[in-house]
C-alpha cells in the first residue's frame, strides 16, 4: 500500500502535498495553478487544492494510478 503524503481524510491539500504526490516541486504546482491548468483555492496566503479537483486533473492527464489513490 502506498503511503500518502497527507491524511486520508483531507478535503484540501497543500501545494507541497500535491507536489509530493505528483513527483514535482512546489514551484511546478504553483505554475500550474497560475496558468489555470490546476484548479485551486486561496486560503489566506496559501493555495489549497481540493482533493476532487486533483483527482479530476490527474485522471484527465491519464494518471489513473495517482487518481485512484486519492
State pLDDT tens for residues 5-63: 556 667 999 999 999 988 899 999 999 999 999 999 999 999 999 999 999 999 888 87
Using CA atoms, how far apart are residues 23 and 17, in angstroms rounded to an integer? Answer: 10
Q: What angle do CA 3, 30, 8 make, to 5 degrees?
A: 25
The CATH code for residues 12-69 is 1.10.10
pLDDT at 4 over 60: no
Place of cell 505554475: 31
| pTM for this entry | 0.79
Residue 1 has pLDDT above 50, yes or no: no
Amino acid at each position: 500500500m502506498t503511503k500518502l503524503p497527507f491524511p486520508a481524510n483531507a478535503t484540501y491539500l497543500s501545494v507541497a502535498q500535491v507536489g509530493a504526490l505528483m513527483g514535482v516541486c512546489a514551484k511546478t504546482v504553483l505554475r500550474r495553478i497560475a496558468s489555470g491548468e490546476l484548479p485551486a483555492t486561496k486560503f489566506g496566503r496559501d493555495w489549497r487544492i481540493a482533493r476532487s479537483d486533483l483527482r479530476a486533473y490527474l485522471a484527465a492527464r491519464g494518471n489513473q494510478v495517482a487518481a485512484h489513490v486519492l
